[in-house]
C-alpha cells in the first residue's frame, strides 16, 4: 500500500499519461514488426514461428488497448522527451528479447537481452558462440532489430502519432544522434517521413545489389539490415569473410554510405548539390576513410596475397569500424599494432551525426579540434575574437560548450565502465575495446572480444554494464543518465 | 499550406500557435536567436535565424514552394521589403504596417507592389473598439457569417427578466437567440435546459444582427446609445478610434500627457477635443468630469496603468470601459479583475491574419470559415462550410450523435441565421456555427461522437 502511494507521488511532476501513451504505441508497433519473423518461420517451416506469433499478438493487444486512450495533455517537454526515449528503448529491448528465451535458443534471459539490445542499438556484439545454430526466424529478428534501431523507433512512431505541437521535436531530439538535431521541413512528421524514405531507398538499393551479386535472398536481407542500421549481426560465424569479392565491395560501399549524414541525401534530392558537397562533416568523414584505408593498406601489405586483397580488406574494415557497423572479413586482431591502433581510433570517432552510425560523431570531433585551435590562437593573441564555424555558419557558443560537456561525460562513462568490466579479470586491451565497441555501438573489439570471438565469456555483472553502455551510446548518453538522475523524479 | 512567418514577437507567436493546429507547415524567421529557439521548442515549426529581407534566408525557408509569407516584425519597412522581395515568387504576402503614413497608402501597396493584405493592428483594434461603443452592453462581439450573425457576450444585470429562471422555461424572451456559453463563478460551461440563470452570470448568445436590439430590450439590459467617450492616452489606437467616431455623433475627448503629441493629434483630427494632462492622475480626471462620460478607453503606454485606471473608472463611467492590453499572455491573470472589455491590437492582428489564411485555405479544401478562441482559449466557436457529402447533412439535429459539450449554435443559410431546433436539418452549402469546450476541431465530422 505504502509503495503504491509513493509511486504516485514520484510521477506527479511529469506527463506520465503521455509517456504511457507513447510507450503503448511502441509496444503495438513492435508487435506488428514481430509478425515479420513469423513469416520467415512460415517460409522455412520452423515451429518457432508460433512463439513469435503469440508474442506478437500479446504486444499488439496490449499496445492497441493502451494507445486508444489519448491523454488530454499531450505536451512533452525536454525532460519528458529524454525519459520517454530511454524508456522506449528499455521496453522494446525487454519485449524483443523474450522470444529468444521462450524458444530456448538463448536460454538465459540476460543473454537474450544483451543480444537484442545489441541489435536495437545497432552494436552487433553477440554472446552466441554459434550463430549458424539459430533458426531463420530468430536470425531475421536479430538483424531486423538493427534496421529498426538504426533510424530509431520514436522517429518511426512520429510519422504516425496524432499529436501536433512542439512535443514531437523533443522526442526526435532525444532519440536522434548529433549535437544539433534539425528538421528538413517544417513538420516533424514530414522530416521523419523523409528520413525513412531515404533509409528505405538505400536499403532496397543494397538488397538489390546483393541479389545481383548472387547472394542468397535470406543472407542479402539480413546483411542489408545489418548494414543499413550500421549494426553488424551476420548470419554466418565467419561474419562476411566467406562472401565473394563483389559482395564484399558492395557491403563496404553501402556501409560507408549509411554512415553519411542523411541531410546530405536530403540536399541531393532537393537539388542543392552545391551545399551538399560543402558539408564539412561529410568531407572530413570521407577524408578520414581515405587516409585510414591508405595507412592500413601500406601497413598490412605483407599479410595478404595481393594488392587487391590488401586494399579490399583495409577498405572493408575501415568502413565497418568508422561507421560502427562491425562486420569483418579478416581477423584484424592479428594485424600489426599500428593498424589496430588506427581501428581503435576510428571506433571512437564514429560516423556522421544524423546517420544511422554510432560513436562520438565526426562533427563533434571537428568542433573539438576547431575549439582547440581557437584556444591556441588566444595564447598567441589574447584579444583575438574568433567564432567556431560549421559549414560556413557560426556555431552558437552554447552548442560548442555542449559538445565539450559531452566529451567529458563520454570519457567518464568510458573510464567507469572499463573499471567495472575489469572485475571479470580479463586483460586491459579486452576490457578497453569491449567498452569502446559497445559504447560506440560497433560490436567486435580486440583480443578476447575480437572479430572471431564474442561476449559470452563475460559475467552477468559485466553484461549489464555493457548493456548500459550500448543504450547510452545509441541514445548519446543523456537520456539514459537522466533516468538515473534523482531530480528527474521529483514532484516539481 | 506552406507559410513563412517573419518576426517571432507576440503577434508572430500567436499566429504560429493558431496556424500549426490547422494543418499548415510553418517556417519562422527572426534575427533573434532566442526568440526562434523559443518558438521552435513550443510548436512544430522550422526556425531560421536570419534577416527576412535577405533572399538567401528566404530561399533557405523554401520560399519557392511557400503559399504565403506573413511579415510581422516590429519595423514597417522590413515588413514591406520582405513582401516585395517575396513577390518574386508566386506566394501571397501579408505585411503588418502600423505607421499611419503608410496606412494611407494601402491601396498603392496592394496595387503596385502586389501585397495581398496589409494589416494595421491599431486600426483593426479601433474598429473593434468602435463596435463595442456601438453595443455598450456587450463585453465582446465576435462576428460570424461575414457579419450577419454576432456572438455577443454580456453580463446579466440584477433586474433582468432572465434572472432566476431556468433555460427551458424561457419562452418569447429568447426568440431568435441561443444562449451558447455561460460563465458562473469562474467556471465556463455550455448550459443545458435545467441551467438557472443568476444575476451576474456572463452569457454568450448567438443572435441575428437585426434582432439583437429587441432581445436586449426584452430581457431588460439597457441598450442606451453612447453620447460621449473619453480616450485616455494619445496612442495610435486612440487616434484611430477618434477618427472612426468622427463620422458619428459621438463626442470624443482625448487626454494625453505629452504636449507635442497633443498638437500632432490636433493637427490630424477635426472634431475631437484634445486635452493636455496626465490621464493616470485621478484628481485631474475628476476635474475633467470623468463621471459625465458614457464610455472610456484606457490606452496609455503601460498595460499596468491602463488596468489600474480602468479599475478606478469602472463605477464612474456609465456604460463602457475598454482597456488596451498589449501583453497577450497576461489575459489569464486579469480576467478575474472583472474589467469590462479588454482589447489587444496584437491579438486582433493575429486573429485577422489567421482569418485571411483560413479564407485562402478554404479555396484549398479546408472547411473552417471562422474560428474564435473565446474566454482565453477555453471555448471555441467555429464556423464550418458544409460540403454536399458531409455526414451531418440531411439528418434532423435531434438524431445527430454529438460528442459531449458541443452545441450547434446556428445554421447560416443563404445569408440568414437560423437558430436551430431539434427538427432542423443541415443542408449542403450552409455554414454551421459550433460552440465547444473541447478544442482542436478542424472539420465538421469531428463533432460527431
Give the pLDDT of residue A464.
94
Which chain B residue has its CA at the smallest distance from A182's CA?
B46
> Which residue in this structure is represented by grid cell 455623433?
B249
Give yes or no for residue B335 having a pLDDT over 80: no
Rounded Cα–Cα distance for residues A362 and A214 (Å): 34
Rounded Cα–Cα distance for residues A428 and A415 (Å): 12
Q: What is the mean pLDDT of residues B145-158?
A: 78
Which chain B residue has its CA at the smallest distance from A173's CA?
B41
- 8-state DSSP, A183: -
Give yes or no for residue B289 having a pLDDT over 90: no
Distance from CA of A19 to the nearest CA of B (A): 18
Alpha carbon of B398 to those of A189, A419, B14, B284, B385: distances in Å? 39, 73, 37, 59, 20
Residue A193 near chain B (CB below 8 Å): no
Positive or negative: CA dihedral A341, A344, A349, A355? positive
- Strand bridging mode B341-343 / B138-144: unpaired
**Residues contacting B328, CB < 8 A, separation 6+:** B10, B14, B344, B346, B347
Q: What is the mean pLDDT of residues A170-195?
A: 84
- Strand bridging mode B416-418 / B406-413: antiparallel
Query: What dihedral angle (degrees, nearest 10) is formed by the CA atoms of B208, B210, B215, B218?
Result: -160
What 3-state DSSP class applies to B412? strand
Give the pLDDT of residue A391.
87
Give the pLDDT of residue A221.
94
Range from A198-202, A355-359, B339-343 carrying the lowest mean pLDDT? B339-343
Rounded Cα–Cα distance for residues A218 and A215 (Å): 8
Q: Please tell me the total number of residues recorded for chain B in this structure.
A: 449
Rounded Cα–Cα distance for residues A207 and A86 (Å): 31
Residue A296 near chain B (CB below 8 Å): no
Give the pLDDT of residue A11.
42
Q: What is the mean pLDDT of residues A6-22?
A: 66
Which chain A residue has its CA at the smallest distance from B43's CA?
A166
What burial class does residue A139 get, using C-beta atoms within 10 Å of its C-beta: 0-12 exposed, 13-18 middle, 19+ buried? Answer: buried
Is A396 in Cβ contact with B40 (below 8 Å)?
no
C-alpha grid cell for residue A446? 580486440
Is A187 in Cβ contact with B25 (below 8 Å)?
yes
Give the pLDDT of residue A466.
94
Rounded Cα–Cα distance for residues B102 and B109 (Å): 9
C-alpha grid cell for residue B61? 525557408
Give yes or no for residue A230 having a pLDDT over 80: yes
Higher-confidence position of B169 and B94: B94
Give the pLDDT of residue A166.
67
Which chain A residue has its CA at the smallest distance from B38's CA?
A166
**Residue B204 near residue B152 (C-beta atoms within 8 A):** yes
**Residue B353 near residue B371 (C-beta atoms within 8 A):** no
Question: Given B21, B41, B45, which is nearest A186 (Cβ)?
Answer: B45
Which of these, A78, A321, A306, lies nearest to A181 by C-alpha position?
A: A78
Instruction: Output Rg (C-alpha) for chain B, integer angstroms.
Output: 23
Give the pLDDT of residue B178.
84
Give yes or no for residue A467 having a pLDDT over 60: yes
Strand partners of residue B27: B4, B46
Give the pLDDT of residue A174.
83
C-alpha grid cell for residue B260? 507635442
Strand partners of residue B251: B228
Give the model confidence (pLDDT) of B105-124 as tens digits.
Answer: 878 888 888 888 888 888 88
In A, which residues are within 8 Å of B41 by CB distance?
166, 169-170
Give yes or no for residue B197 having a pLDDT over 60: yes
Q: What is the mean pLDDT of residues A449-453?
A: 86
In A, which residues are within 8 Å of B25 by CB distance?
185-187, 190
Is B2 in Cβ contact with A186 (below 8 Å)?
yes
What 3-state DSSP class applies to A65? helix
**Residues contacting B261, CB < 8 A, separation 6+:** B234
**Residue A456 near residue A127 (C-beta atoms within 8 A):** yes
Give the pLDDT of residue A5.
36
Is B21 in Cβ contact with A164 (below 8 Å)?
yes
Return the percent helix, strand and coil in chain A, to nearest 5: 70, 0, 30
What 3-state DSSP class applies to B74? coil
Rounded Cα–Cα distance for residues A416 and A44 (Å): 45
Distance of alpha carbon A72 from the chain centroid = 33
Question: Given B21, B25, B40, which is nearest A169 (Cβ)?
Answer: B40
Give the pLDDT of residue A10.
38
Give the pLDDT of residue B205.
86
Q: What is the mean pLDDT of residues A254-266?
A: 93
Per-residue confidence band for A9, with pLDDT thresholds at 50, 70 and 90: very low
C-alpha grid cell for residue B411? 445554421
Per-residue confidence band for A461, with pLDDT thresholds at 50, 70 and 90: very high
Give the pLDDT of residue B127.
85
| CB neighbourhood size of B360 (10 A) | 18
Give yes or no for residue A94 having a pLDDT over 90: yes
DSSP letter for each residue of B144-158:
EGGGTEEEEEEEPPT
The overall average pLDDT reported for chain B is: 84
Alpha carbon of B421 to those of B167, B172, B411: distances in Å? 14, 15, 10
Rounded Cα–Cα distance for residues B219 and B232 (Å): 33
Residue B355: phi, psi to the nearest 5? -55, -45
Rounded Cα–Cα distance for residues B407 and B193 (Å): 12
Distance from CA of B82 to the nearest CA of A (A): 20
Which chain A residue has its CA at the smallest distance from B47's CA?
A186
Alpha carbon of B113 to those of B70, B80, B84, B88, B93: distances in Å? 15, 9, 6, 11, 10
Per-residue confidence band for A38, with pLDDT thresholds at 50, 70 and 90: very high
Ranked by mean pLDDT, the top range of A140-144, B89-93, B216-220 is: A140-144
**Residue B348 near residue B141 (C-beta atoms within 8 A):** no
Per-residue confidence band for A492, with pLDDT thresholds at 50, 70 and 90: low
Distance from CA of A238 to the nearest CA of B (A): 46
Is A190 in Cβ contact with B46 (below 8 Å)?
no
Range from A338-347, B245-254, B256-265 carrying the lowest mean pLDDT? B245-254
**Residue A157 near residue A22 (C-beta atoms within 8 A):** yes
Give the pLDDT of residue B439.
67
Q: What is the 3-state secondary structure (H, E, C) of B209-235?
A: CCCHHHHHHHCCCCCCCCCEEEEECCC
Distance of alpha carbon B391 from the chain centroid = 31
Give the pLDDT of residue B363.
62
Question: Given B21, B25, B41, which is nearest A166 (Cβ)?
Answer: B41
Per-residue confidence band for A1, with pLDDT thresholds at 50, 70 and 90: very low
Per-residue confidence band for A7, with pLDDT thresholds at 50, 70 and 90: very low
Higher-confidence position of A436 and A490: A436
Give the pLDDT of residue A164.
65
Give the pLDDT of residue A3.
37
Per-residue confidence band for A165, with pLDDT thresholds at 50, 70 and 90: low
Q: What is the mean pLDDT of residues A57-86?
A: 88
Give the model confidence (pLDDT) of A402-444 as tens digits.
Answer: 999 999 999 999 999 999 999 998 999 999 999 999 999 998 8
C-alpha grid cell for residue A430? 579486452
Is B46 in Cβ contact with A186 (below 8 Å)?
yes
Distance from CA of A334 to the nearest CA of B (A): 50
C-alpha grid cell for residue B82? 520582405
Phi-psi label, residue A312: left if phi above 0, alpha if psi -120 to 50, beta otherwise? alpha
Distance from CA of A78 to the nearest CA of B (A): 9
Phi-psi label, residue B325: left if phi above 0, alpha if psi -120 to 50, beta otherwise? beta
Give the model confidence (pLDDT) of A296-338 as tens digits.
Answer: 999 998 888 889 999 999 999 999 999 999 898 888 888 999 9
Which of these, A134, A343, A319, A333, lies nearest to A226 by C-alpha position?
A: A319
- Helical axes B236-245 vs B259-268, angle rounded to 10°: 30
Query: What dihedral angle (degrees, nearest 10) is formed by the CA atoms of A398, A404, A409, A415?
Result: 180
For chain B, list the domains and their CATH numbers.
2-119 (3.40.50.720), 126-218 (3.30.70.1450), 228-347 (3.40.50.720), 367-447 (3.30.70.1450)
Rounded Cα–Cα distance for residues B360 and B301 (Å): 35
Distance of alpha carbon B425 from the chain centroid = 30
Which of these, A429, A427, A431, A428, lies nearest to A462 by C-alpha position?
A: A431
Residue A168 near chain B (CB below 8 Å): yes
What burial class does residue B249 get, using C-beta atoms within 10 Å of its C-beta: 0-12 exposed, 13-18 middle, 19+ buried? Answer: exposed
| CB neighbourhood size of B278 (10 A) | 14
Which chain B residue has its CA at the smallest distance from A191's CA?
B46
**Residue B324 near residue B301 (C-beta atoms within 8 A):** no
Give the model confidence (pLDDT) of B33-86 as tens digits.
Answer: 889 888 888 888 888 999 989 888 988 888 888 999 999 998 999 999 999 888
**In chain B, which residues touch A (CB < 8 A)?**
2, 20-21, 25-27, 33, 40-46, 62
Residue A113: phi, psi to the nearest 5? -65, -45
Distance from CA of B402 to the nearest CA of A (A): 19
What burial class does residue B446 get, using C-beta atoms within 10 Å of its C-beta: 0-12 exposed, 13-18 middle, 19+ buried? Answer: middle
pTM of the model: 0.81
Alpha carbon of B437 to those of A368, B60, B362, B379, B444: distances in Å? 52, 39, 24, 5, 15
Residue A166 near chain B (CB below 8 Å): yes
Give the pLDDT of residue A491.
65
Rounded Cα–Cα distance for residues B23 and B19 (Å): 7
What 3-state DSSP class applies to A225? helix
Give yes or no for residue A4 having a pLDDT over 60: no
The overall average pLDDT reported for chain A is: 89
Give yes or no for residue B153 having a pLDDT over 90: no
Rounded Cα–Cα distance for residues A88 and A92 (Å): 6
Amino acid at each position: 500500500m505504502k509503495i503504491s502511494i509513493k509511486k504516485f507521488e514520484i510521477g506527479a511532476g511529469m506527463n506520465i499519461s503521455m509517456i504511457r501513451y507513447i510507450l503503448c504505441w511502441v509496444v503495438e508497433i513492435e508487435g506488428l514488426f514481430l509478425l515479420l519473423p513469423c513469416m520467415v518461420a512460415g517460409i522455412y517451416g520452423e515451429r518457432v514461428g508460433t512463439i513469435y506469433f503469440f508474442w506478437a499478438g500479446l504486444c499488439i493487444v496490449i499496445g492497441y488497448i493502451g494507445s486508444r486512450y489519448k491523454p488530454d495533455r499531450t505536451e512533452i517537454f525536454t525532460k519528458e522527451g529524454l525519459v520517454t526515449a530511454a524508456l522506449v528503448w528499455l521496453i522494446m529491448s525487454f519485449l524483443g528479447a523474450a522470444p529468444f528465451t521462450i524458444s530456448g535458443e538463448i536460454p538465459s534471459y540476460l543473454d537474450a537481452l544483451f543480444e537484442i539490445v545489441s541489435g536495437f542499438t545497432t552494436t552487433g556484439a553477440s554472446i552466441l558462440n554459434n550463430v549458424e545454430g539459430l533458426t531463420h526466424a530468430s536470425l531475421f529478428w536479430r538483424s531486423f532489430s538493427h534496421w529498426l534501431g538504426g533510424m530509431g523507433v520514436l522517429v518511426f512512431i512520429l510519422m504516425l502519432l496524432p499529436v501536433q505541437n512542439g512535443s514531437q521535436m523533443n522526442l526526435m531530439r532525444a532519440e536522434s544522434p548529433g549535437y544539433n538535431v534539425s528538421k528538413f521541413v517544417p513538420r516533424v512528421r514530414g522530416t521523419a517521413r523523409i528520413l525513412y524514405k531515404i533509409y528505405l531507398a538505400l536499403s532496397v538499393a543494397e538488397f538489390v545489389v546483393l541479389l545481383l551479386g548472387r547472394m542468397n535472398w535470406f543472407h542479402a536481407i539480413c546483411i542489408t539490415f545489418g548494414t543499413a542500421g550500421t549494426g553488424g549481426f551476420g548470419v554466418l560465424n565467419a561474419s562476411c569473410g566467406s562472401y565473394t569479392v563483389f559482395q564484399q565491395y558492395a557491403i563496404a560501399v553501402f556501409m560507408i554510405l549509411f554512415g553519411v549524414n542523411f541531410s546530405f541525401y536530403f540536399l541531393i534530392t532537393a537539388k542543392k548539390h552545391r551545399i551538399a558537397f560543402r558539408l564539412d562533416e561529410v568531407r572530413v568523414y570521407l577524408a578520414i576513410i581515405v587516409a585510414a584505408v591508405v595507412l592500413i593498406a601500406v601497413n598490412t601489405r605483407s599479410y595478404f596475397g595481393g594488392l587487391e586483397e590488401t586494399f579490399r580488406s583495409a577498405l572493408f574494415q575501415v568502413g565497418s569500424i568508422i561507421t560502427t557497423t562491425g562486420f569483418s572479413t579478416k581477423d584484424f586482431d592479428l594485424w600489426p599494432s599500428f593498424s589496430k591502433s588506427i581501428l581503435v581510433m576510428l571506433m571512437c570517432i564514429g560516423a556522421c551525426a544524423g546517420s544511422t552510425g554510432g560513436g562520438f560523431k565526426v562533427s563533434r570531433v571537428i568542433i573539438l579540434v576547431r575549439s582547440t585551435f581557437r584556444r591556441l590562437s588566444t595564447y598567441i593573441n589574447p584579444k583575438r575574437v574568433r567564432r567556431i564555424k560549421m559549414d560556413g555558419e557560426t556555431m552558437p557558443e552554447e552548442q560548442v560548450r555542449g559538445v565539450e560537456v559531452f566529451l567529458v561525460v563520454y570519457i567518464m562513462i568510458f573510464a567507469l565502465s572499463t573499471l567495472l568490466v575489469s572485475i571479470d579479470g580479463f586483460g586491459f586491451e579486452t576490457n578497453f575495446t569491449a567498452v569502446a565497441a559497445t559504447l560506440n555501438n560497433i560490436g567486435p573489439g580486440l583480443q578476447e572480444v575480437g572479430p572471431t570471438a564474442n561476449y559470452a565469456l563475460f559475467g552477468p555483472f559485466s553484461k549489464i554494464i555493457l548493456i548500459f553502455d550500448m543504450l547510452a551510446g545509441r541514445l548519446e548518453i543523456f537520456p539514459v543518465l537522466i533516468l538515473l538522475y534523482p531530480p528527474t523524479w521529483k514532484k516539481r | 499550406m506552406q507559410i513563412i512567418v517573419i518576426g517571432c514577437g507576440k503577434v508572430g507567436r500567436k499566429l504560429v500557435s493558431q496556424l500549426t493546429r490547422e494543418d499548415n507547415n510553418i517556417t519562422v524567421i527572426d534575427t533573434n536567436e532566442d526568440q526562434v529557439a523559443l518558438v521552435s521548442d513550443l510548436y512544430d515549426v522550422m526556425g531560421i535565424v536570419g534577416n527576412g529581407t535577405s533572399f538567401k534566408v528566404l530561399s533557405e525557408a523554401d520560399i519557392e514552394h511557400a503559399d504565403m509569407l506573413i511579415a510581422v516584425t516590429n519595423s514597417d519597412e522590413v515588413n514591406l521589403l520582405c513582401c516585395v522581395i517575396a513577390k518574386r515568387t508566386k506566394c501571397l504576402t501579408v505585411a503588418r504596417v502600423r505607421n499611419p503614413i503608410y496606412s494611407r497608402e494601402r491601396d498603392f501597396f496592394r496595387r503596385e507592389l502586389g501585397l495581398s493584405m496589409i494589416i494595421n493592428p491599431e486600426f483593426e483594434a479601433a474598429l473593434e473598439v468602435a463596435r463595442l461603443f456601438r453595443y455598450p452592453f456587450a463585453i465582446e462581439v465576435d462576428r460570424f457569417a461575414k457579419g450577419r450573425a454576432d456572438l455577443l457576450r454580456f453580463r446579466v444585470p440584477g433586474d433582468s427578466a432572465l434572472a432566476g429562471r431556468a433555460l427551458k422555461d424561457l419562452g418569447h424572451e429568447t426568440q431568435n437567440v441561443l444562449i451558447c456559453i455561460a460563465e458562473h463563478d469562474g467556471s465556463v460551461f455550455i448550459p443545458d435546459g435545467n441551467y438557472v440563470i443568476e444575476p451576474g452570470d456572463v452569457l454568450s448568445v448567438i443572435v441575428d444582427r437585426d434582432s439583437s436590439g429587441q432581445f436586449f430590450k426584452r430581457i431588460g439590459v439597457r441598450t442606451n446609445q453612447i453620447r460621449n467617450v473619453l480616450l485616455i492616452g494619445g496612442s495610435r489606437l486612440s487616434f484611430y478610434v477618434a477618427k472612426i467616431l468622427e463620422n458619428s455623433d459621438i463626442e470624443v475627448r482625448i487626454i494625453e500627457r505629452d504636449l507635442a503629441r497633443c498638437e500632432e493629434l490636433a493637427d490630424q483630427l477635426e472634431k475631437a477635443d484634445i486635452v493636455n494632462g496626465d490621464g493616470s492622475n485621478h484628481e485631474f480626471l475628476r476635474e475633467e468630469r470623468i463621471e459625465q462620460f458614457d464610455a472610456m478607453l484606457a490606452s496609455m503606454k503601460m498595460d499596468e496603468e491602463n488596468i489600474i485606471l480602468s479599475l478606478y473608472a469602472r463605477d464612474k463611467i456609465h456604460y463602457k470601459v475598454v482597456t488596451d492590453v498589449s501583453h497577450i499572455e497576461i489575459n489569464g491573470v486579469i480576467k478575474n479583475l472583472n474589467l469590462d472589455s479588454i482589447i489587444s491590437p496584437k491579438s486582433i492582428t493575429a486573429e485577422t491574419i489567421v482569418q485571411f489564411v483560413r479564407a485562402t485555405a478554404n479555396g484549398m479544401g479546408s472547411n473552417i470559415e471562422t474560428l474564435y478562441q473565446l474566454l482565453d482559449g477555453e471555448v471555441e466557436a467555429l464556423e464550418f462550410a458544409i460540403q454536399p457529402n458531409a455526414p451531418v447533412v440531411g439528418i434532423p439535429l435531434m438524431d445527430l450523435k454529438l460528442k459531449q459539450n458541443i452545441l450547434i449554435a446556428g445554421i447560416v443559410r443563404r445569408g440568414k441565421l437560423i437558430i436551430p431546433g431539434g427538427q432542423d436539418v443541415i443542408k449542403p452549402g450552409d455554414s454551421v456555427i459550433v460552440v465547444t469546450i473541447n478544442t482542436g476541431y478542424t472539420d465538421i465530422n469531428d463533432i460527431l461522437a
